[in-house]
């Protein structure tokens, strides 16, 4: 899902008249390869009385790098523009000079690049925030449909209202009417391209099982009918006693309203809802539901931990040892002090740590 959201923004950005990814990386490469240029940029920041900020790089394979890079250019616009205009046509990279040259006299004329930076700083944050939610540790499959639908609705409403951000609208007023209309049309294409990509790669219809389990996110009270729809969508009806499931639903029904009003992750809400109850069928539904990953972020984290643990210096470690280390790193959120306090209370753990039984020495004769 995170890949789809990232690609929808990237695909829409490719439809714009200014390739913002190329601009970001061109400006970054201009300074990253020269300490002298960086010092010159710092001097410009000081001249315009702004605090120096390092130009960020956008990595195409990293889904969360584009908006921070665009935001940094947007926030540093005065200094960045002044620096490249001070270079003049002969020293400024040609591709960048084409974007800055309309204000080469320093009269403060509005530039198209400024409009696009302002617009993308505003709209890319929507995609950025969704990816953050998707890659977070608390996200569940029953929240996924609402996340994607909310993203789609925001883009549709912005397109209908021709809303490009208040700052963007203010800058556009400085352009001639015909030029402003042309830019607005180009920005509208961004919305349409993003929506087309989302609708192509994500199923917003009633056939999507994620829509049928969305009612179990405990944002509002769910009915037994909602529960049955989720069971059918997950294809686990044959593994449950539906009559008992109804009785279990009735047991938890009086507690739902209090749980719904709480601000907590969905898994924590369900844990509270089922705590102290004998609800094996409802527990099975929740367990199955929350075992479905919504992105591959958790898998990637495991690979990162495995790479860090299974180094060349530890290449003789057993699979079981590495597995155990990864389980501890992923499932325990203790600080060093908290783990020390907890370990002191576990006599079996302390005895196992002192024992030599954990070492299996194989002797070759």
Question: What does the pLDDT look like over 132-154, one tens digit per residue?
Answer: 999 888 889 999 999 999 999 99
**Contact (CB, 8 A) for 282 and 249:** yes
CA atoms within 13 A on the CB side of 7: 11
Q: What would the pLDDT profile of 303-354 be if each residue is shown by its tens digit? A: 888 888 888 888 888 888 889 888 888 888 888 898 889 889 888 888 877 8
Whole-number CA gyration radius for the chain: 27
pLDDT category at 29 given cuts 50, 70, 90 is: very high
Instruction: Please say if the pLDDT value at position 363 is more than 80.
Output: no
Evaluated on CA atoms 354, 360, 364, 365, the torsion sign reads positive
Residue 40 has pLDDT above 50, yes or no: yes
**Confidence category of residue 361, pLDDT binned at 50, 70, 90:** very low
Residue 355: pLDDT band (50, 70, 90) is: confident
* Angstrom distances, CA of residue 207 to CA of 203, 214, 232: 8, 13, 12
CB atoms within 10 A of CB 319: 8
Neighbours of 266 (CB within 10 A): 20
pLDDT score at 204 = 95
Q: How confident is the model over 170-223, as pLDDT tens digits?
A: 999 999 999 999 999 999 999 999 999 999 999 999 999 999 999 999 999 999
CA 194/CA 198 separation, integer angstroms: 6
Nearest to 129 by CA among 115, 156, 150: 150
pLDDT the model gives residue 343: 86
pLDDT band for 364, please (50, 70, 90 cuts).
very low
Q: How much is the average pLDDT of 261-280? A: 93
Q: Is the pLDDT of residue 362 over 70?
A: no
Q: For residues 199 and 171, give the distance between their C-alpha atoms in angstroms, rounded to a whole number.
A: 32
Q: What confidence score (pLDDT) does residue 360 get?
A: 52
The span from the CA of 52 to the CA of 317, in Å, is: 47
**Alpha-carbon gap, residue 126 to 151, rounded angstroms:** 7
pTM assigned to the model:
0.83
Distance of alpha carbon 20 from alpha carbon 120, whole angstroms: 9
User: How confident is the prediction for the chain on average, in pLDDT?
Assistant: 91
**In the predicted model, what is the mean pLDDT of residues 253-271?**
92
Whether 148 contacts 80, CB under 8 Å:
no
| Percent of the chain clearing pLDDT 90 (strictly above) | 72
Share of the chain above pLDDT 70, in %: 98
Q: Which residues of 183-217 are buried (b: 16+ CB within 10 A; e: fewer)?
A: bbebbeebbebbbebbeeebeeeeebbbbbbbbbb
Query: Is the pLDDT assigned to residue 84 strictly greater than 90?
Result: yes
Q: Any idea of the CA torsion for 348, 352, 357, 359, to the nearest 10 degrees?
A: 150
Given a contact cutoff of 8 angstroms between Cβ atoms, the answer to whether 291 and 142 are in contact is no
């Amino acid at each position: 899902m995170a890949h789809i959201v990232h690609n929808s923004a990237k695909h829409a950005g490719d439809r714009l008249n200014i390739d913002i990814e190329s601009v970001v990386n061109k400006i970054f490469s201009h300074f990253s390869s020269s300490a002298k240029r960086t010092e010159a940029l710092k001097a410009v920041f000081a001249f315009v009385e702004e605090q120096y900020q390092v130009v960020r790089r956008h990595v195409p394979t990293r889904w969360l790098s584009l908006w921070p890079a665009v935001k940094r250019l947007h926030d540093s616009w005065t200094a960045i523009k002044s620096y490249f205009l001070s270079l003049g046509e002969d020293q400024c990279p040609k591709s960048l000079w084409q974007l800055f040259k309309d204000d080469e006299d320093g009269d403060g004329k509005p530039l198209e690049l400024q409009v696009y930076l302002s617009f993308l700083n505003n709209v890319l944050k929507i995609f950025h925030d969704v990816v953050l939610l998707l890659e977070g540790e608390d996200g569940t499959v029953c929240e996924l449909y609402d996340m994607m639908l909310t993203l789609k609705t925001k883009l549709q409403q912005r397109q209908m209202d021709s809303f490009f951000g208040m700052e963007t609208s203010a800058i556009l007023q400085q352009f001639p009417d015909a030029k402003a209309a042309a830019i607005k049309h180009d920005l509208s294409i961004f919305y349409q391209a993003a929506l087309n990509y989302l609708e192509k790669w994500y199923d917003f219809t009633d056939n999507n099982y994620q829509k049928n389990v969305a009612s179990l996110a405990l944002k509002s009270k769910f009915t037994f009918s909602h529960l049955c729809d989720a069971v059918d969508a997950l294809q686990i009806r044959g593994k449950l006693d539906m009559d008992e499931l109804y009785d279990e639903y009735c047991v938890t029904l009086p507690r739902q309203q209090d749980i719904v009003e709480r601000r907590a992750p969905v898994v924590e809400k369900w844990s509270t809802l089922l705590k102290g109850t004998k609800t094996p069928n409802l527990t099975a539904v929740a367990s199955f539901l929350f075992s479905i990953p919504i992105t591959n972020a958790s898998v990637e984290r495991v690979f990162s931990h495995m790479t860090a643990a299974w180094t060349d210096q530890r290449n003789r470690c057993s699979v079981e040892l590495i597995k155990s280390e990864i389980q501890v790193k992923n499932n325990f959120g203790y600080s060093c002090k908290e783990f020390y306090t907890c370990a002191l209370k576990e006599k079996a753990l302390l005895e196992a740590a002192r024992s030599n039984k954990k070492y299996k020495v194989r002797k070759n004769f």
